[in-house]
Structure 1
Amino acid sequence: MKPLYWTRIQLHPRKEAVSSLVWETIEEPEMDFDEFVQLFSKTAVKEKKQPLSDTITKSKAKQVVKLLNNKRSQAVGILMSSLHLDMKDIQHAILNLDDNVVDMETLQVLYENRAQQEELDKIEKHMKSSKDKENTKPLDKPEQFLYQLSLIPNFSSRVFCILFRSNFSESMSCITRKLDILQRVCKALHDSRTVKNILGLVLAFGNFMNGGNRTRGQADGFILDILPKLKDVKSSDGAKSLLSYIVAYYLKNFDEDAGRETCVFPLPEPHDLFQASQMKFDDFQKDLTQLRKDLRVCTLEVEKVCKVSDEDNLQPFKENMEDFIAQAKSELEILDTQLGSTHKLFLELTVFFSVKPKTGEKEISPNTFFCIWHEFSSDFKDQWKRENKVLLKERLKAAEDSFRQAKEKASYNVKPKQASGIKAKLGMKI
């Protein structure tokens, strides 16, 4: 229990009771302290367990049987030393799908280092041959460890299913996040009024600059690859670029919140565009195909475990894994539909901006399309921040000037004009 740091009072027999003490009349009642213990007990300190290697009996004999090669034996030995667990903890975690003591990372390492069939055959052969024989050399610790792992009912199949269930959720979330970014960026570029306003400015200034040119003038649009090059088009004195001029013009003429904290960046964020540029629809398809394949393997492993397990070890594995498989199939169908709609949305966007595939490409790739927008958005944002700071300073200066003028006007007093005519002089004499 947590301590209560008080100063105690102890009652002693008194010769003369001048006045009674409250403590003399109080008796401690009988109470149920279960809830109190839950509320005020100390946080239990986890028992510091010895390394797993120390829990395996070390033979007194000087010689032991080594069935593993040196490299493999050393790797298993290091693993045993790093795991501060009991074998019963590992068995409990696997049979009850409990990751409170043995986490997924540990299970992954155990699964990767499990005994291969060839190794297990050698170990079991030695165990049988040495049974009931005196003075037989015992197995080395790594071999004992692998053998004890193999005694956990359906160790390999169960751990594979547990790990797949954990990784499946993470993989699905990762794909969903990427598709959400792609959809958000595609919709912003397709529907945003501010994006269209900026492209309209580029078109207007470009047409003006190309006026009279037969091949470049009077354009109705332009290939997007010019966007990242706007920063390289300099003014006559070299002080400004075409991009910085367009940004300043946009803020002054299209954005009512320019120079204020409420001013919103008018293009998709460069970070989102960069992430979108790194995605490939072929990779999404490969990931989903692999997940379906692994789910089929997991289903077969679950069926195998359920078929050979006795009643005591069947639950909660059977119920949990069957629920997971049913949900996983449904989630894969939903994600497959989402991937199809996102792909369609992207292809419509490339048509929308008149972007054509590069030579050798069947269709335009997200990298080809979004790299242009990422570079343009990054350059635009740098200039946008600078221009906003300039406008903010101008607003502050204007506000300060207005305040100063108002203050000066309030402090200016008009003295009344004194009368100086004959009537005023006669009035003064009276």
Structure 2
Amino acid sequence: MVWDKIRSSSFEFDEEMIESLFGYNLQSTTKNDEAKSKTPSPSKHVLDPKRLQNITILSKAINATAEQVCEALMRGDGLCLQQLEALAKMVPTKEEEAKLFGYKGDINELGSAEKFVRVVLSMPFAFQRVEAMLYRETFEDEVVHLRNSFSMLEEACKELRSSRLFLKLLEAVLKTGNRMNVGTIRGGAKAFKLDALLKLYDVKGTDGKTNLLHFVVQEIIRSEGIRVSDSIMGKINQKNKTKTVEEREEDYRRMGLDLVSGLSTELYNVKKTATN
């Protein structure tokens, strides 16, 4: 830091010039500053400093006194959405509530934020009233949001049920799992729970790099490549007859990858639903 290197006498401004240019009165300002410094500031705090800071910010956003808030809560009207959301974030824990009510000193000695919460808490079911008013205020928007969400979910389900590639994925995972569990009680399964798809990534191969998800996708790509190659359009391409095994495998991979990479577009609503 550099502040300890600054000397108080190293710079002095022209007081007459600053007063004539900006109407700055050093003497009156000094008196005001002295008056302000004599004003006692609340020093009693019972809440955690970080929590107290958050409540202070929220109380300023409410822009209303605790008495005005209590009156509005009593009527069940008079607070806007932003005020209700700020109040909902101020809900004290049982421990904080006990600290505020357990304070034996003068309530006016508490900080403004703590005093605000303490006064609001004096009303029965104050924050339950806040939740009810907030629910009422956001009800219509929530209904619209839920309707849109259910509509999107319904479309996503239709996409999954009609997607040939998704069914291929389920088949590949089922057969791979049965092959890995052959000879055990889990072998020969006819189905599996969908949350098993989320666990494919966690099953690592012996190389430490490839996981079960990689393997399944690569096998689907190869299978789809062979299917496309055996189709009428694939058979028209007579060049395959002169290609080596490695070249044909590369063709299978390329054609299969082109097809499988379109799954994200095919399952548009599924992807959209998953991110909401």
TM (normalized to structure 2)?
0.42
Higher relative helix content: 2
